[in-house]
Amino acid sequence: MEEYAYILDYLPQGRPNHKSFKIIPIALAVGEKEFKLFELIPKPNVTLIVGERVYIGKDKEKRDKIEHVRRRIAYKDLTHAAQLELPYVIEEIVKKREQDFVKFFNEAHPITTRLHMLELLPGLGKKTMWEVLEERKKKPFESFEDIKKRVKHIHHPEKLIVNRILYEIQHRYEKYKIFVAP
């Protein structure tokens, strides 16, 4: 379960096509750990800022801005503004959780006899995959900067991760999920 989420869009008047005549403010957000997409109901008289980190966990006393999670949503349910904001917010999360994703480069394993987890990263082919595997045998990677220095074909490892997360969010029924909760 997600504890924190980042606001992608804030609709103080609610969704325009909502069936009810009652105005219910809505926030669209992405979870910090499992990258789930949510529709949130903010507390009354609270203003949310795009990119803001908010608590959405079970402890209601810690929830200072969010009343409750209304529902989990799909990528297509995001507003256009939220879709545009999503890559920037995910990049921010990936940079903050750098060690988790460096660990992925150090521990990624084959999925089948013909497919390796590293190959699921957009833009990373077999040749680069073998280069990563050889380098991590010598010594585990310590940071994104370390990956860039030791693997000559990877210039922005964080962008590879961000692009894969975006792909998994946009393709809800993708067979192989590495970072996004099903």
Summarised one tens digit per residue, pLDDT across range 102-122 is 999 999 999 999 999 999 999
User: How many other C-beta atoms lie within 10 A of the C-beta of residue 119?
Assistant: 17
- 105: Cα within 13 Å, side-chain hemisphere: 31
Residue 58's pLDDT is: 93
Domain boundaries, the chain: 4-75, 97-170
Task: Evaluate whether 159 touches 92 at the Cβ level (below 8 Å).
Answer: no
DSSP 3-state of 75 = helix
CATH of 97-170, one of 3.30.9.90, 1.10.10.10, 3.40.50.970, 1.10.150.280: 1.10.150.280
Report the CATH superfamily, name and number, of domain 4-75: Nucleic acid-binding proteins (2.40.50.140)
Q: Would you call 93 helix, strand, or coil by DSSP?
A: helix
Q: Is the pTM of this model over 0.75?
A: yes
- DSSP code of residue 116: B
Q: Provide the pLDDT confidence category of residue 1 given band limits of 50, 70 and 90.
A: confident
Confidence of residue 23 (pLDDT cuts 50, 70, 90): confident
